[in-house]
Amino acid sequence: MRRTDFRTIAACAALLVMAPIAALAQDDGVEVPPDFQPLDVIEGPIDDPEDQVFDNDAPFDEFGNPIVPNPEDPNAPLRPGEGDTVTTVQEGPEVADGTGANIRGLDKLSGKTVDLALKTGETGEIGWLQITLGDCRYPTDNPVGDAFAHLVIRERDAEAPIFDAWMVASSPALSALDHARFDVWVMRCTTE
């Protein structure tokens, strides 16, 4: 697979955009110098795109940018050096498994709420929705805090679930049930 030189694309795009503007300026009697260049996009020689080959096995960073070895020492390790920007991912707090979860449902039509206390693996109903709790986890230092639970929600007598994902108590909209009649969200994990 061949890679296209982005400077070539930028230069062509600039010409396509600016050339009609220059032509309009000339039509309006505005003098355009003969060495008019729309943008200073081209700096130095442009490599022939046919000579550039995309290496599918090249290493990439977490943002999808190719990691290019040091041109002075191609055998140098592909590691960040001094002054490079390094992104680190911090691990979240330690979590513990709950024995169940408190779940709240809202009937949008009537405005009534229903609270369910489900044990892991148990199924409860809100209206015609069947909610199965797969697992509930919480931060070990805050059992009533930021719980997250894996829920499988089906409409009664339907085999395919309409929701099968983790819900987070502190951010219910992050992974929400999309249903016309009901809203469902996790309140907290239970530990007994």
Pair (119, 186) in one structural domain: yes
Pair (6, 77) in one structural domain: yes
Pair (49, 26) in one structural domain: yes
Q: Which of 145, 104, 148 is nearest to 124 (CA)?
A: 104
Pair (81, 141) in one structural domain: no
Residue 1 has pLDDT above 50, yes or no: no
**Given this model, what pLDDT does residue 14 score?**
57
Q: Could you tell me the pTM of the whole model?
A: 0.52
Average pLDDT, stretch 143-149? Answer: 80
User: Last residue of a domain, which of 89, 109, 144?
Assistant: 89
Pair (101, 75) in one structural domain: no
- The span from the CA of 120 to the CA of 158, in Å, is 21
Between these two residues, 18 and 93, which has the higher pLDDT value?
A: 93
Total number of domains in the chain: 2
Pair (82, 118) in one structural domain: no
Q: Which of 190, 162, 155, 158 is nearest to 176 (CA)?
A: 162
Decide if 105 contacts 86 (C-beta within 8 A): no
Tokens read off for 121: 């693996």
Pair (116, 55) in one structural domain: no
Average pLDDT, stretch 67-81? Answer: 62
User: Last residue of a domain, which of 48, 65, 89?
Assistant: 89
pLDDT category of residue 2 using cuts at 50, 70 and 90: very low
Q: How many residues does the chain have?
A: 192
Pair (113, 132) in one structural domain: yes
Residue 25 has pLDDT above 70, yes or no: no
Decide if 172 contacts 166 (C-beta within 8 A): no
Pair (6, 54) in one structural domain: yes
Which residue range forms the structural domain that includes residue 104?
95-190
Handedness of CA 127, 106, 144, 153 (dihedral sign): positive
Decide if 46 contacts 11 (C-beta within 8 A): yes
Pair (51, 105) in one structural domain: no
pLDDT category of residue 107 using cuts at 50, 70 and 90: very high
Pair (128, 180) in one structural domain: yes
Q: Which of 156, 155, 169 is nearest to 101 (CA)?
A: 169
The H-or-E segment that residue 8 falls in is helix 6-27
